[in-house]
Amino acid sequence: MRQILFTAREQAELQTVPGHAGPIPALHVRGRTLVSLVSPGTELNWGYLGNNFPVETGYACVFEIDGVGEGVTDLRVGDRVFASGPHAERQQAPREQVTRLPDGLAPEVAVFARLMSVSMSTLNTAAAHAPARVLVTGLGPVGNLAAQVFARCGYQVTAVDPVAERREAAKASGIRDVRASVAEGPDDLAGRVALHVECSGHEQAVLDGCNCVCKRGEVVLVGVPWGRKTELSSFDLLHSVFHRYVVVRSGWEWEVPGQARDFSFNSLAANHAAALAWLHEGSVRVDGLAGIHSPDAPGGVYAGLLARTLPEPGALFDWRLLAAA
């Protein structure tokens, strides 16, 4: 089968690799990929700009089942499912790790459930409950969807990004309070924010959040600090944390268990199902978040994402555009 690999620094190629041979394992499903979604932050910084090659990439896809293993009774050939699979023309996954798409939900929309799940883990674990005030900084695909998810759940959301195109995309998705910085607009944030969902990976945004949250408010680091961007002193951050009683923590998605279990009220599987339902009903929108590309020339897609020369902030590969081998 064909799969996108990072073969060297800043080099992505569609290559032929061994496929899933032999009988389908019990309690597994197998099928052809319809679409797969690029995670601009993780894939660019960890893979495309990484040091270990070759490496497979991608962690979100929708595929159409063409075979099921023994013991799978609730899915059948022809069903379309969401999975955390790689950029490859075929997929195989355990039954418990795929979620059937609602009837009529387009694959190129459904695949965004993966990025929604990132901030939904923060939603699951946050101390603040709706209708508390939430600040979201960084409005790339993850941040945009985070703002929508929290607004969908009844929180009062303020979304911040210095890039005008990202602000316009957030407004188009229904976020009402969108600003270029925390200092823009009315002076109504300092001491009134219960939860700061930081999706940019920028040190200044973290400090801004610490200065905005109320006492014992949370600052959750969803965005990865891939590189130093400022000359800020750690003293400024520590001073704010100490005197404002701020809780600063990781936005580690896997703090939530993958599957439902006793004494746990949430799971990644439940989040994926909810995300698909919200996408299906239109209460979370993905218009303009990613352009559609053929997998046959992935190098230009990743180069465009890195240079920010693509029309959209994200990208997805439509494997239906790939000619048969």
Please give the pLDDT value at position 226: 86
Domain boundaries, the chain: 2-112+289-321, 119-255
Residue 8 phi, psi (nearest 5): -165, 170
Summarised one tens digit per residue, pLDDT across range 168-218 is 999 999 999 999 999 988 889 999 999 999 999 999 999 999 999 999 999
The answer to whether the beta carbons of residues 294 and 317 sit under 8 Å apart is: yes
Contacts of 55 (CB under 8 A, 6+ apart): 5, 6, 47
Summarised one tens digit per residue, pLDDT across range 121-158 is 999 999 999 999 999 999 999 999 999 999 999 999 99
* Mean pLDDT (the chain, rounded): 95
- Total-model pTM: 0.94
Architecture of the domain made up of 119-255:
3-Layer(aba) Sandwich (3.40)
Please give the pLDDT value at position 185: 82
Contacts of 297 (CB under 8 A, 6+ apart): 14
Please give the pLDDT value at position 35: 98
Q: Which two tokens stand for residue 32?
A: 């052809």
The answer to whether the beta carbons of residues 115 and 266 sit under 8 Å apart is: no
Low-confidence ranges of the chain (pLDDT < 70): 324-325
The answer to whether domain 2-112+289-321 has CATH 3.90.180.10 is: yes
Nearest C-alpha neighbor of 64 from the set 104, 110, 29? 29
Using alpha carbons only, give the angle 48, 322, 15 rounded to the nearest 5 degrees: 45
Enumerate the β-bridge partners of residue 29. 68, 93
Please give the pLDDT value at position 227: 87
Check the CA dihedral 180-40-173-272 and report its sign: negative
Residue 131 to residue 11: CA distance in whole angstroms: 45
Contacts of 194 (CB under 8 A, 6+ apart): 127, 128, 132, 133, 134, 213, 214, 217, 218
Please give the pLDDT value at position 187: 85
